[in-house]
Amino acid sequence: MNDIKRRQFLRDASLGLAGAGLGLGAGKAAAQVAGDRPKDRAENVEVLNPGTRVPVSLIIDDSTCLVNMAHFGIPQFAAVFPDRYTQPWKSLPREIPDSFVRKFGEWCGDNGVKGKYSIVPCPACVGWVDRELPGWSGSELKASIDLVKKLMTPNWDIHPEMVTHTWVIDTKTGRPYPERSERFMENWGWSVGKSVDELTDYLSYALKILKNVEFPCEGITTPGGFGSQVLPEFSQATLESCRDVYTAEIPHYFRHLFTDERSVAPRVEYASGLNGSDPRCVVSIIGCTGDWFGGWDGLTRGSVDRLITEDLRGGRLPEVIGRGEPAIMVCHWPGIYYNGEEVGFSIFKEAVRRLHAGHDNLIWMKLSEIARYWAARELTGIVQTGNSVRFTAPFASPMFTVGIKTRGNAVPRLTVRGGSVPLGEVRDSLRLTRGSWVRNSDGITVCFDLPKGKSEIELQG
């Protein structure tokens, strides 16, 4: 980013300081800035969940092409913390095979599951996904990349999980720094005290590796504690790097998961330019579970009951779904594979079965889809004048759903760019889809594809 763009970004990011205070539980680190919000939000109009459903998703960490991150990562962690990392890593398989990726991806596709799948660009310093992975042939690496592109990317966002998930890479040389300490581990100390520019450089380095092999990407996943002490800088660096490398319209990141009473609704941060030609924001996606599948190392058996109990009423997921917030599960790929026993995968399959049996109001979404919806939800201006509800949206969003309080038997008419868009009436809210509406006790609910720019709902009759 050149100096002019950089200064403009900092001016934009400084706007809306009155909206600061997005407390994300980061110790002494400063809170991010929410940024701008629309001045106009009609009192009788409420933006609801997409199609009045609750988003659900799965975040998969520590995944990449072929390499089992646990096998290669544990001895590197033990070099810094020998008393904490004593797992028998040599007994763990060095590879999580593509046959399992195919099995997992096909099952998820058959069951409508969506989420995020990491590709660590230089997994545990073994090699580079855009060059070679020593221990695997070039054709094996290419086949693995092609499999993820074809099978996973339709329903899964691809994120880098920093560069190596272990030792920090010197972006000037492409080699790990020689010092073997906590200070030069991605998971721990390196990000502490880093500036926006320094973090942007590092995130961009990771993103460019994925771009070299044509993986799509709109977001970032942090390994371990990366960024936890520099949350404002990390959030801004995500915004800058994803826009610069991938021209992502709405960058997002996964840094936090909460399993207590705190809200897990996405946080829309550093919003600016909402009424101009170049609106900006970055969205923090928050997980709602711990890794209750098979552990990050594939050595700790999980429990489906922590997610959702057999009677379908208890566990963390029904609690979050009951609040109407996105129920985003978090797992680690070695634990899903579980050294070939597939313990985590079995737990996940049962959790999905119970979710579908106990709830008819869910919608599976990728993290980028959730980020887009929440950005539109919070940043769209809404003005009601008489029987007209006008929307000014900096970002488009599919299945944008609003509840409008009305009297009588009003019927909605949607106008986009001067043209009328048909809306069909349905019998109940769970039948809502794009281009439909339903009458309820205090008005109507309308679900439509929100365009960027201007649109209008006129209440007729």
pLDDT exceeds cutoff 90 at 213: yes
pLDDT exceeds cutoff 80 at 25: no
* C-alpha–C-alpha distance, residues 460 and 183, integer Å: 64
The secondary structure of 253-296 as a DSSP string is EEEEE--SSS--S-EEEEEE-TTSSS-EEEEEEEE-S---SS-T
The predicted pLDDT at position 18 comes to 26
pLDDT exceeds cutoff 90 at 184: yes
User: What whole-number percentage of the chain has pLDDT above 70?
Assistant: 93
pLDDT exceeds cutoff 50 at 451: yes
Name the least confident of 20-34, 399-413, 430-444. Answer: 20-34
* C-alpha–C-alpha distance, residues 300 and 334, integer Å: 10
The predicted pLDDT at position 21 comes to 28
In this prediction, residues 49-62 reach a mean pLDDT of: 98
Name the least confident of 8-22, 88-102, 165-179, 287-301. Answer: 8-22
> Please, are residues 309 and 315 in contact by the beta-carbon 8 Å criterion?
yes
Q: Which residues of 52-65 are buried (b: 16+ CB within 10 A; e: fewer)?
A: bbbbbbbbbbbbbb
Residue 254 Cα distances to 63, 137, 263, 435, angstroms: 15, 32, 15, 31
The predicted pLDDT at position 30 comes to 57
> At a CB cut-off of 8 Å and minimum separation 6, what does 434 contact?
398, 399, 447, 448, 449
Work out the number of other CB atoms within 10 angstroms of the CB of residue 216: 13
First to last CA, the chain: 53
Better pLDDT: 26 or 154: 154
The predicted pLDDT at position 142 comes to 98
* C-alpha–C-alpha distance, residues 145 and 98, integer Å: 10
The predicted pLDDT at position 421 comes to 93
Q: Does the CA dihedral 258-270-376-365 come out positive or negative?
A: negative
pLDDT exceeds cutoff 60 at 429: yes
> At a CB cut-off of 8 Å and minimum separation 6, what does 453 contact?
392, 393, 417
Name the band, by pLDDT with cuts 50, 70 and 90, for residue 408. confident
Phi–psi pair at 71, nearest 5 degrees: -60, -45
Mean pLDDT of the chain: 93
The predicted pLDDT at position 32 comes to 83
* C-alpha–C-alpha distance, residues 4 and 318, integer Å: 48
Residue 248 Cα distances to 195, 219, 282, angstroms: 22, 8, 10
pLDDT exceeds cutoff 50 at 136: yes
The CATH number of 3-35+54-360 is: 3.20.20
* C-alpha–C-alpha distance, residues 369 and 344, integer Å: 25
> Please, are residues 314 and 355 in contact by the beta-carbon 8 Å criterion?
no
Distance of alpha carbon 395 from its chain centroid, rounded? 17
Domain parsing of the chain, residue ranges: 3-35+54-360, 380-460
pLDDT exceeds cutoff 90 at 417: no
In this prediction, residues 364-380 reach a mean pLDDT of: 98
For residue 175, give the nearest of 159, 183, 164 by alpha carbon: 164
Name the band, by pLDDT with cuts 50, 70 and 90, for residue 418. confident
pLDDT exceeds cutoff 70 at 182: yes
pLDDT exceeds cutoff 60 at 413: yes
pLDDT exceeds cutoff 70 at 214: yes
Distance of alpha carbon 26 from its chain centroid, rounded? 19
User: What whole-number percentage of the chain has pLDDT above 90?
Assistant: 91
pLDDT exceeds cutoff 70 at 3: no
Name the band, by pLDDT with cuts 50, 70 and 90, for residue 407. confident
pLDDT exceeds cutoff 90 at 31: no
